Structure 1
Amino acid sequence: MNSLMDHLIILPILLPMATGAFLLMFDDRQRTAKALINVTSTFMLLVIAVFMVMQASTQGPEGAAVASYAVGNWPVPFGIVLVADRLSAMMVLLTAILGVSALMYSLARWHAAGPSFHSLFQFLLMGLCGAFLTGDVFNLFVFFEVMLAASYGLMLHGLGSARVKAGLHYIAVNLAASFLFLIGASLIYGVTGTLNMADLAAKVAMIPEADRGLLEAGAAILGLAFLLKAGMWPLGFWLPTTYAAASAPVAAVFAIMTKVGIYAVLRISTLAFGADAGASAEFGQTVLLVGGMASIAFGAIGVLASQTTARLAGYCVLVSSGTLLGAIGMGNAGVTSGALYYLVVSTLAISAFFLLVELLDRVRAEGAHVLAITLEAYGDDEEEAEEEVGVAIPGALAMLSISFGLCVLLLAGLPPLAGFLAKFSIISAMVNPDGLTEATPIGAASWWMAGLMIFSGFSALISLTRTGINTFWVTMAERPAPVRVIEMAPVILLLSLTVALTILAGPAMDYMHALADTLYASADQVSQVLATPLVVDTVAGAH
């Protein structure tokens, strides 16, 4: 095991925890100092995450090795264990990227809109990183609660009755999810005697048939908590309204919170209910497939029906979640590798779009949404004004329009950007599950899934095109509000990363293929986690 990796595993949790606690000692009027500390810590988290991905992609033969960390020096499965592999390292890096982008944007004005923003932001990063790195279900619940507690404060950050109303609904829904989480975890522990994911994977196949129903009931209840957070239909009813009401930087970082539920489903389903799970193998995959397809359909219809840009972005989150859940429900490593590539691309694109929503509203006239609907329904009876020739386009407006165009291509899945490559890789793996070497009949589920993915892209194209026309041509203000560089820079950063993923699609997909192969052949990971070494006190041993 790499000693550097040993320390890297714990740092993404300790760093934001210590920073968030330290920031509580500052008065809210010391915003500059708090912002500087927050920015420094978040950039350090980004650097740590980059090193984690580098280590996870190079360690061990064929990249299959897993680094584990016994917190408190207690042996597995009795103590807390943190696990870092390709998947968890990638999710921590994605969290850090979104954290840096949202924080940069918030420094323009949002960080001063309410108390304790910087501490809550760091605690949110702590919960997210902990959820991705933990190796047992109970501590997944603990980090879930840390993440949710911080998100409650951030959701209510700022003024507005709509935000408070949506925030209270958000809190109620997630408290219900936490209750389900505890019930499911308790049932699983009662049957297996463990909540360590690796130990659970080793014991599921040996559960007596008399107890298997109770085990699967616990897993189903636990899955409900995850799927409610992931936004699967019909459990995702709360998401579009909540995300639309949140402030722009908060909604941007919330884009990865739905992925926590998807990550938990993928991790537990491949570990505990994989091919080696005996009678419980592939438990729940049909639910994921059908629920994912229903979520795509619901999200696509919501995208078409949305009259505000913020709600449109919220429904795009549901489409992304549905695509990922449906792909996981296929139970195929090739489809999952494409889905993981799509996860990264769609999360970056949606986060950029949430930041862009507020900036687009600034260039629109007051009451623009009502005006756009009126014009669509009744047309414009005003006489055409004399056409102006040679009107200069402001630089900020040009950047906004280019960024919006890139978001359209990414969210609709149009070539040549990574959104198209991600959807193409998923569909290609569905229609060729065994590769091009063997002729395999294409199942009905693959046709339905592929059709819904194409339909969702077409829906996004129609709705986003309509939004672009209404924003830049129909309802633009005569004097748009200014856009600051610190607000535009995070959008450019996120979209530039999607362009980089397009150019480097080959290496990125190689990483995803190796990741998916490791997930669906988890025996090595289970054995390595269960064999996590402890630190031996040589001085005490000598006495």
Structure 2
Amino acid sequence: MNLALEHLIIIPILLPLLVGAAMLFVRDQRRTGKAVAVIATLLVQLAVAVTLLVLTSSDGDGGWVGVYLLGNWSPIFGIVLVADRTAAIMVTLTTILAICAMLFAAARWNRAGPHFHTLFLLLVMGVNGAFLTGDLFNLFVFFEIMLAASYGLLLHGATISKVRSGLHYIAINLVASSIFLIGVSLIYGVTGTLNMAELALRVPEVADADRTLLEVGAAVLGMAFLIKAGMWPLCFWLPAAYSAAVSPVAALFAILTKVGIYIVWRLSLLVFGLDTGPSAGLAQNWLLLGGGATLIFGSIGVLASQALPRLTAYAVIVSSGTMLVAIGIGGIYVAAGAFYYLIGSTFALAALFMLVELIERGRMAGADVLAVTMEAYGFEDEEALPDDQEVGMPIPAKLAILGISFIVCALLLAGMPPLSGFIAKFAIMTGIIGVHTEGAGSQIAGADWSAVALIILSGLAVLIAMLRGGINTFWATREDMAPSIGVVEIVPITILISACILLTVFAGPAMLYFQDAATELHNPVAYIQGVTSAMPVPYPGRGVYP
């Protein structure tokens, strides 16, 4: 592979960092120009991400693994970035989501506070870095950049609810960062390295006397990421924070839980996979139990939610629970379905966060609570009409567009046919049943069938909650309450929903691609060899650094 192509790996980190820093020197009143610059930056990043997708899929079964050595140091000693098929998928997902969120924010929300565009790009940079990094220390660095930017974005357009939720969010994530450092320190103390590929080679060789300390460090590290992933009981902060954030920020936050899930998924298969000795499959059953509990908690949350923003936040928890159950079960076919589900659910959640803001814009405060209360007590809002007056009223065009989009999002998140949400859940459940019949999978008795039941019931809970929310919203909304909507606000929602529809239309090729990605994730030989065999470029007349 051409060495120049490996420089593409750093662009999703370097480009948003440089553009975001440059915007600090531009007056904040020039928001239109800044928004255009951000979108242009993200479009360039999208081209790079798609190129990485092609490159990582072009070298046969093993796939190309791009390794970028910052400072031209050996990967054992220096900073290393790694792009394989899984990382390329996640960077592409992040970029598409960020483009749509910025388009939506450009209509009005980027005016609600200072330095929005810089914080936005720094968050994108941190997320990209977390997906591309090849060592735990720099994972911590990118993780902190991501969190620091998210603090400012959550408080954007500050209100009392945002400040209250933001302070809780900051406190919880500072605790998670401290836990992260403790886990990293324990792992480094036992293995002597933080490079993830090198860890995969050293973990099987750890002495029995030190193995307990290694596993404790891994558990502590996993806890830090499971807080971000939203696993129960570590998810109590999420509904308030996500429902309080402004809609484009909440839409972008849909990827943050996937960062935690990605890291747990990556490390569990790379460092504690089936060929890593006595620690193989570490905490897999705990992930399965935690994912099941998260599904139950999220299902109860969506059914109990009376406001659409909070319902959407609990739907994020349901999505995380589904992913954790898939990781806990294990297996290539389950992982392929989980990849498919991750993409579709993230797009659907982001679109729903934006939709909810448009829907709520034309409604009075507390309308959802009032509608549910009137329904519970049997009050009717119908008035006596003259005999010659037509019953009912026409649906405004704006509400019709919002209603159709809402229905599509509901079907996607509930996993109802014929859209990609159904295909994804069907693929996951088929994989789970296949693992069960092969005698593999979880060691917990009945766990496989219980996981299938929980996935079905959680989808039913989301469907009921979304139907109730849609009825209380669109059937109870008067024509004079139709919100004012700009074209730039509808476009990103249309892009996200169209992406989900394309996933449905091209489900066959997509599943084959995700199956290849799952195979590489479960058999990380190419990843390990690519990193450990990477050599610094010789300097003419001066040799190389270590």
TM value normalised by structure 1: 0.96
* Shift, 1:475, TM fit: 3.9
C-alpha contact (below 8 Å) 1:64/1:524 kept by paired residues? yes
* Shift, 1:426, TM fit: 0.4
* Shift, 1:418, TM fit: 0.2
How is 1:356-371 mapped onto 2 (pairs within 5 angstroms)? 356-371=355-370
Please name the residue that 2:371 is paired with. 372
Please name the residue that 1:111 is paired with. 110
1:414 to 393, 413, 416: 416
Q: Distance in 2 between matches of 1:289 and 1:541?
A: 50
Please name the residue that 2:405 is paired with. 403
SS of alignment partner, residue 80 of structure 2: strand
Alpha-carbon spacing, 1:439–1:537, altered in 2? closer, same or farther (3 Å): closer
Alpha-carbon spacing, 1:509–1:540, altered in 2? closer, same or farther (3 Å): same
1:484 to 486, 489, 500: 486
SS of alignment partner, residue 82 of structure 1: strand
C-alpha contact (below 8 Å) 2:395/2:479 kept by paired residues? no
Please name the residue that 1:10 is paired with. 10
Q: What 5-or-longer segments of structure 2 have no aligned partner? A: none
Alpha-carbon deviations, 1:33-65, whole Å to 9, x = none?
22221121122112211111111121x221433
Q: What 5-or-longer segments of structure 1 have no aligned partner? A: none
2:468 pairs with 1:466? yes
Alpha-carbon spacing, 1:476–1:232, altered in 2? closer, same or farther (3 Å): farther
Please name the residue that 2:90 is paired with. 91
* Shift, 1:521, TM fit: 1.1
SS of alignment partner, residue 299 of structure 2: helix
Return the letter of the residue paired with 2:360. D
Please name the residue that 2:33 is paired with. 33
* Shift, 1:441, TM fit: 11
- Report the number of matched residues: 539
2:57 pairs with 1:53? no
SS of alignment partner, residue 68 of structure 1: strand
Q: Distance in 2 between matches of 1:67 and 1:288?
A: 30
Q: Distance in 2 between matches of 1:67 and 1:513?
A: 20
Alpha-carbon spacing, 1:385–1:108, altered in 2? closer, same or farther (3 Å): farther
* Shift, 1:494, TM fit: 0.2
Q: Distance in 2 between matches of 1:385 and 1:4?
A: 75
How is 1:139-150 mapped onto 2 (pairs within 5 angstroms)? 139-150=138-149
C-alpha contact (below 8 Å) 1:364/1:477 kept by paired residues? no
Alpha-carbon spacing, 1:154–1:441, altered in 2? closer, same or farther (3 Å): closer
2:390 pairs with 1:388? yes
C-alpha contact (below 8 Å) 1:205/1:277 kept by paired residues? yes
C-alpha contact (below 8 Å) 1:12/1:48 kept by paired residues? yes
RMSD after superposition: 1.8
Q: Sequence identity, in percent?
A: 53
1:450 to 442, 449, 452: 452
* Shift, 1:388, TM fit: 3.4
Q: Distance in 2 between matches of 1:263 and 1:532?
A: 24
* Shift, 1:511, TM fit: 1.0
Q: Distance in 2 between matches of 1:181 and 1:270?
A: 19
Please name the residue that 1:305 is paired with. 304
Mean CA deviation greater in 354-363 or 403-412: 354-363
How is 1:162-311 mapped onto 2 (pairs within 5 angstroms)? 162-311=161-310
Please name the residue that 1:43 is paired with. 43
Q: Distance in 2 between matches of 1:349 and 1:2?
A: 37
Alpha-carbon deviations, 1:215-238, whole Å to 9, x = none?
000000000001000000000010
SS of alignment partner, residue 380 of structure 1: coil
Q: Distance in 1 between matches of 2:57 and 2:385?
A: 60
Q: Distance in 1 between matches of 2:92 and 2:474?
A: 34
* Shift, 1:477, TM fit: 5.6
SS of alignment partner, residue 432 of structure 1: helix
Please name the residue that 1:523 is paired with. 525
Alpha-carbon spacing, 1:100–1:169, altered in 2? closer, same or farther (3 Å): same
C-alpha contact (below 8 Å) 2:417/2:423 kept by paired residues? yes
Please name the residue that 1:314 is paired with. 313
C-alpha contact (below 8 Å) 2:396/2:479 kept by paired residues? no
TM value normalised by structure 2: 0.96
C-alpha contact (below 8 Å) 1:56/1:86 kept by paired residues? yes
* Shift, 1:503, TM fit: 0.5
C-alpha contact (below 8 Å) 2:331/2:441 kept by paired residues? no
C-alpha contact (below 8 Å) 2:151/2:166 kept by paired residues? yes
Q: Distance in 1 between matches of 2:62 and 2:391?
A: 60
Return the letter of the residue paired with 2:511. M
* Shift, 1:394, TM fit: 3.0
C-alpha contact (below 8 Å) 1:365/1:477 kept by paired residues? no
Mean CA deviation greater in 444-453 or 471-480: 471-480
* Shift, 1:523, TM fit: 2.2
C-alpha contact (below 8 Å) 1:273/1:280 kept by paired residues? yes
SS of alignment partner, residue 272 of structure 2: coil
